[in-house]
Structure 1
Amino acid sequence: MKVDSLHNLSYKEEFEGDTKRSTATYKKVREDASIGSTYKLPLERGYARSLIKPVIMSGGNGKRLRPLSSKDKPKQFKKILSDLTLLQQTLNRNKFLGQPTVITSKKYESITKEQAAEIDVEIELITEPLQKNTAVCAIITGLSAKTQGFDIVVLLPSDHHIADNINYLNTINKALHYVNEFGICTIGIPINVISAEYGYIKTGLSIAENVYLVDHFIEKPILEQAKKHFQSNEYFWNSGIFVYDINFFLNLAMNLQPDLFCIAEKAFNTAVKNKNSLAIDDEAYNEIEAISIDNAIMEYISGMVMIKAYFA
């Protein structure tokens, strides 16, 4: 069951035969957020003056590329179609957003630091003792960014190869524009081949050129279903990229997944913190459910925006 907002305040305004999601919900949730709402709203000042934190998730074990990748050195740490590894490409591609936070498994701490140093990118590193999927990654990095005074998170996978960096930048900037109205948005990649190896996004109403409301997320489909998605212009590949207002996202997480949020918050609060690093202890993570951000949070949000990728 989808929810329009935490407080059931969302509504849609009809105009000239079209429909748009009112920003009243976003404004109200921001004002009522029980998770700190003391800073001036980015909605009032524009994203260019907001503090943006890029977050790179780099803890996956790269199963899809085996035997080219392995548990000891998964695909994000491999050089694929470039002289740089996928992680290094991701770090370079997102320099314009500021110093990144990289969240990864404890066992990949050394290689992550080494690869960032090789390209002279200073990172903030969060290490997990266990792999618990992307929902807890998003919550913990959101809490970390919030305590540092950031307004917006750009949540990124570490295993994308993107050749067109200029159009990538344009796509992210467009997402940053829309996040001020809708609170949260994602990037959809045009489908160019039939594949059951990726998650999909089904779009609804187009609210602007290459901008759509999300109807729902789809886990990796069976091949026959993937063929149908390929033949329809309503479906896109799920890039795994999300751009969101931190207070808005944390408030959603707290209300949609209260148990997960509570344990993740405890894990964050008990983590060992040093300059540019945060190490989560084993005990705190043992209780955490392994669930993706899509399944835990995103699929329940009505009114999320998807930007069609310009770089694919």
Structure 2
Amino acid sequence: MNITPVILCGGSGTRLWPLSRQSFPKQFVPLLGNKSLLQLTLERLAWCQSPPMCVASEDHRFLVADAIESTAKQGSVVLEPAARNTAAAMALAALQAADPAQAMLFCPADHHIPDAAAFATTVQRGLPAANEGAIVTFGVVPSFPSTAYGYIEQGTDLGNGSLQVKRFIEKPDATKAQALLLQGNTLWNAGIFLTRADTLLAALRQHAPDILQACEQAMAAPQHEQIGNIGFVRPEKTAFLACRSQSIDYAVLEQHDKVVVVPFQGQWSDVGSWNAVADLTPADAEGNRVVGQGHALVAHNTYIHAPHRPVVALGTQDLLIVDTPDALLVAHRDHAERVKDVVAHLTRSEVPQAGTHRRVARPWGWYDSIDTGERFQVKRIGVKPGASLSLQKHHHRAEHWIVVKGTAEVTRGQEVFLVSENQSTYIPIGELHRLHNPGKLELEMIEVQSGSYLGEDDIVRLEDRYGRQPQR
């Protein structure tokens, strides 16, 4: 079926801190079965004939590329210069469509829908309405009175499994949510849409012309870059920054007269809180849910996420315990929705763990700052097969490299040589150098930095295949 899947990869996922952070949001985190929600979304949309299009932040371009390469193998990525919510993101995608009559399926990158076949069947039921000029949304049949989701009230049955949308309802309080559930004709708003590109653009022109105009100007002469099987599209920055931020629901859907809904009967979660994540993990007889090296003793209804080290909950009840190498969250389940307030507090307090992980993704691989002190820092570094760090030098630090897995090709000044497992080399202050992985397996090494200043901005790049500025 010729539908272009468009995956909206924005969002910071602050309610899943400390696992999800601004530099590595929840859609990229290996959360379920060692796969990220973005990878699972790409797999779920594999039945679409067209390659996927992702709309993402410039800061996350290589995280998106890695997910596409591991699943769909090819696709395109529209890179937003800044976050401007779903109306602008969807407008960029529609303007990028090769055919104005192309049907486009807009899906958030961070939802979990385990029954991919049922989802595909539901989308296909909405295609006739989309081809006739409607904006089709998909509503989830509610299983409990949730206060975390918006609702859609169903109207006239249009046949073929689609219904007119009577109205959209904001996230309700507990009493109203119970009433909506008993009402029997409301659905959770899943934030998934199917429409033709020209239909969406016409609706934006009618209801949010300023948003569309800013996006049209940004896409009038975008920059294009092809890396392997993935094409990157960069809208013009100044024009896009002038666009206001608004969701597609507020900008268009609540005002538009041709919006239909198709109910989805399968399991769905927006994975929007640690309670939602916990619900995806099987419970033991006491209601405890454990991931990794967690141990629950004389505990009830306790969730433990402990992938790195043993974490023991003794005599606890109704707790969420999430452990990472550099931050720990312990929260009562009733306060799961307030984790975003924790992130705001840490940000105001200038705690770096509010937005960044100890382990940092880079286009060539990753590094993990495992220890630091006065005039020294120790990192684990992983370099993907065939990848290279930039040709660079440092003004204030020297580096010792010890290879622990694979083989490194090292450029040091005029020398180029190989360093194998259990071997090491030294990079003096001010010396030009580059690290390359010539092998077919990941290269892993330990880097010991020493010097008067160890900041990431002490990097002077002379060559870089990833187009980055002087900062690694």
1:117 maps onto 2:86 in alignment: no
Cα distance per residue 1:248-291 (max 9 Å; x no partner): 22111112111111111001113212342101243122211110
Alpha-carbon distance in 2 for matches of 1:158, 1:227: 29
Aligned to 2:242: 287
1:274 maps onto 2:256 in alignment: no
Alpha-carbon distance in 1 for matches of 2:47, 2:120: 8
Q: Which amino acid aligns with 2:38?
A: L
Task: Judge conservation of contact 2:221–2:235 (CA < 8 Å) in 1.
Answer: yes
Aligned to 2:146: 195
Q: Which amino acid aligns with 1:89?
A: L
CA RMSD between the two structures: 1.8
Task: Judge conservation of contact 2:133–2:199 (CA < 8 Å) in 1.
Answer: no
Task: Judge conservation of contact 1:81–1:161 (CA < 8 Å) in 2.
Answer: no
Aligned to 1:132: 84
Question: How many Å apart are 1:236 and its aligned residue?
Answer: 0.8
1:73 maps onto 2:6 in alignment: no
Aligned to 2:54: 102
Aligned to 1:41: none
Q: How does 1:1-312 map to 2 (within 5 A)?
A: 51-97=2-48, 98-145=50-97, 147-148=98-99, 151-208=102-159, 210-275=161-226, 276-312=231-267
**Structure 2 gap ranges (5+):** 268-472
Task: Judge conservation of contact 2:57–2:80 (CA < 8 Å) in 1.
Answer: yes
Task: Judge conservation of contact 1:59–1:108 (CA < 8 Å) in 2.
Answer: no
Question: How many Å apart are 1:245 and its aligned residue?
Answer: 1.6
SS at match of 1:70: coil
Alpha-carbon distance in 1 for matches of 2:72, 2:158: 40
Q: Which amino acid aligns with 2:109?
A: S
Moved >3 Å (runs of 4+): 147-150
Alpha-carbon distance in 2 for matches of 1:163, 1:66: 23
TM-score (normalised: structure 2):
0.53
Choose between structure 1 and 2 for higher RCO, CA contacts under 8 A separated by at least 6 residues: 1
Identity %: 29
Q: Which amino acid aligns with 2:91?
A: I
Q: Specify which structure has the higher proportion of helix.
A: 1
Cα distance per residue 1:77-106 (max 9 Å; x no partner): 123333321000111111111201000111
Q: Which amino acid aligns with 2:81?
A: P
Question: How many Å apart are 1:186 and its aligned residue?
Answer: 0.9
**Structure 1 gap ranges (5+):** 1-47
Q: Which amino acid aligns with 1:309?
A: F
Alpha-carbon distance in 2 for matches of 1:235, 1:68: 33
Alpha-carbon distance in 1 for matches of 2:101, 2:257: 25
Aligned to 1:32: none
Question: How many Å apart are 1:299 and its aligned residue?
Answer: 1.0
Q: CA 1:82 to 1:219, structure 2 compared with 1: closer, same or farther past 3 Å? A: farther
Q: CA 1:153 to 1:129, structure 2 compared with 1: closer, same or farther past 3 Å? A: same
Q: Which amino acid aligns with 1:54?
A: P
Q: CA 1:64 to 1:232, structure 2 compared with 1: closer, same or farther past 3 Å? A: farther
Task: Judge conservation of contact 1:170–1:310 (CA < 8 Å) in 2.
Answer: no
Q: Specify which structure has the higher proportion of strand.
A: 2
Q: Which amino acid aligns with 1:124?
A: S
Q: Which amino acid aligns with 2:61?
A: E
Alpha-carbon distance in 1 for matches of 2:71, 2:53: 16
Q: Which amino acid aligns with 2:29?
A: K
Task: Judge conservation of contact 1:179–1:243 (CA < 8 Å) in 2.
Answer: yes
Q: CA 1:120 to 1:262, structure 2 compared with 1: closer, same or farther past 3 Å? A: closer
Alpha-carbon distance in 1 for matches of 2:254, 2:225: 35
Aligned to 1:18: none
Alpha-carbon distance in 1 for matches of 2:247, 2:266: 25
Cα distance per residue 1:150-190 (max 9 Å; x no partner): 52111111111111111111011111133223522111001
SS at match of 1:269: coil
Cα distance per residue 1:51-98 (max 9 Å; x no partner): 431110001111232233111111111233333210001111111112
Alpha-carbon distance in 2 for matches of 1:149, 1:156: 19
- Of structures 1 and 2, the larger Rg is shown by 2
